[in-house]
Each structure stands twice: as structure tokens, then as C-alpha cells.
Amino acid sequence: MKYTLCIGMTPAVQELREFKSFTLGEVNRSPAIHRSVAGKGPNVARVLRQVGGRPLLLGFVGSEFITDNLRREGVAERMIRTKEPTRVCTTLMDHATGTITELVEEAKMPTASEWRQFFATFRRCLPQACYVVIAGALMPGASPEIYRKIARCGVPVIIDSQREPLLGVLEFKPFIVKLNVHELENTLGKVEIIAGARELLKRGAQNVIVTHGAKGAWLVSGTGVWQFRPPRITPVNPIGSGDAVTAGICRALERGENLPEAVRFGMACGAANALTLIAGTVQLPDVRRLLVQVRLRALKNL
């Protein structure tokens, strides 16, 4: 049985600290701290597993916390062990104002030998991969050439990234480019959503999915445009919803569904992720209940 190869270059140990109220410059006491595995690639792999899919996570790891938790969650991995410990990212949740603040530690550059091990493992894993998912940014200082090297693997690629690292892979005709509205504008400048998606098609993408949080998402391909409205929910923590969308799409594609139906399933996963406190976590009953509430509308054909 083939797996979906999820590339997670920059995992993180995520600490979510809850506060009754949080004031900058004051002493703030947190009654609850939750630690989990985060990072775009790991989030995709974790949600894919939660909805019954077959992820294999590839990347770099320098903390047993990450590998222990992936094992506990049943996520298969071939992560390269690094000398540097894995970064720690912190979320501050202020219940008084409903504000979420992110403190992001940048990922460190792996050594030359760690990179060699990564690409050797990547090549070994490819024959059993049905899709390759590239999610998120590279670590600071890494060349966009790395994503290009991955994208020319010959296996259908699903990429969630922006700017140069995204633009650089388009010539290899990635199967799906998925990004949010802000990332679309960061990549192409101020642009209307469907026009921006068409521009990415023109540059090589086979299909483009643009998400816009509670406002929904658009799928633009060579054959048509579809608009998706997510279910109405009261979000608890929407961080990682984009990764959950990617995971849901992969799961539905693994099952052989067509792309609009796959995006519908992805939207249900995105909304389900927003209902949980920990990013990259969905409850399957939520996904099933929300799936029927996703509205799909085919817009004019191209």
C-alpha cells in the first residue's frame, strides 16, 4: 500500500500557554500549558493519520519529544536526527481578550551531512509514495533549490508554500498548489483571488487552491473554478487549519475521490481543526458532521 510522503523540514515543539488575562510587561501566570508536535509537515502528517490516511513524515528532528509523540500518534517517520535540538514555539492564549500571540523560534540549518542523509532517505522513500507534500517555509538561509530538487521527483506534488520557494517549483508542474489569500498576495502582489490562481496555473501549477479562513476557499484548475463555503463554527484555535485542509485533500485523494470532493473533505478537516485547542488535531466525528455542511459551487468554466 502506498503512502503520502510529507516533508517536514522545520518541526517544532509547540507550547500552548493559556492565561485568564495577559498583560505585556507584567508578570503573567499560566494555569495550563499544553505541549504538542507542530510544524507544517508534521501537522499534515498527524491530521492525515487522524482521518485514517497513510503518511510517512520525512525531515529533521532533534528532540525525542517529537519522535515519541509521533510514535504514540501512529505517524510513521524517517526523520533525520540532527545535532541541534528541535526549536520550541510558544502560543500565548489570552482568554480575557480572545487574543492568540505566536512566539516563533526560527528553525536551524541542518549540517551538510544531515542534508545528504535527508536526500538519500527521500530517494529511498519515493518508489512507495503516491503523493509528496511540501508544506511551509524552509529554514532561514536554506536555498529554494531544495524545494526544486524535491519537486522534480516524478511523483505528484502538493505544495503549500509562498514566494520564491513556491515560484521556483512551478516549472515542474506541481499537481496542487495550496496557499491562503495573504500568501497569494505575498507571492504575486495585490491580486484578485481567481486571477492570482490563474496566474499560478499559467506558470505551471496543475491545480490551485486558495483558502481564506471562515470566508471559504476556491479551487481553480484547467477545467473550471469551484467555490467552497466552510461550515459556520465558533473557532477555538484556527492555527493549523490550512495544514488540516492539505491533510484532508490527501486522504480523499488516497481514497480515489475527485479533486472538488477532496477539497470538500479538506474543508471539513480545516473547520474541525479550528474546533480543537491543539493545532493539527481533528476529531473524526467532527469531520464527518462538518463534511455535509461544506457548500460547493461550480463557477463558470474557464
**Residue whose Cβ sits closest to Mg ion:** 242
The C-alpha cell 544531515 sits at 114
Interface of this chain with Mg ion, residues 208 to 267, rule: CB under 5 A: 242
Pick from 41, 42, 110, 240 the residue near ligand ATP by CB under 6 A: 240
Q: How far is the CB of 40 from ligand ATP (least distance, A)?
A: 7
Question: CA 135 to CA 211: how far, in whole Å?
Answer: 15
184 part of the interface to ligand ATP, by CB under 6 A: no
Interacting span for ligand ATP (CB under 6 A) from 46-54, 70-78, 164-172, 212-220: 212-220
Interacting span for ligand ATP (CB under 6 A) from 22-30, 102-110, 192-200, 236-244: 236-244
Full DSSP string of 23-57? -TTS----SEEEEEEESHHHHHHHHHHHTT--EEE
Nearer to ligand ATP, 14 or 82 (CB): 14
Question: CA 246 to CA 273: how far, in whole Å?
Answer: 12
91 part of the interface to ligand ATP, by CB under 6 A: no
Question: CA 263 to CA 217: how far, in whole Å?
Answer: 9
Interface of this chain with ligand ATP, residues 213 to 232, rule: CB under 6 A: 213-214, 216-217, 230
Helical segments of 178-297, H only? 181-188, 193-202, 241-254, 259-274, 284-291
Question: CA 110 to CA 299: how far, in whole Å?
Answer: 45
Interacting residues toward ligand ATP by CB under 6 A: 180, 211-214, 216-217, 230, 233, 235, 238-243, 245, 267, 270-271, 274
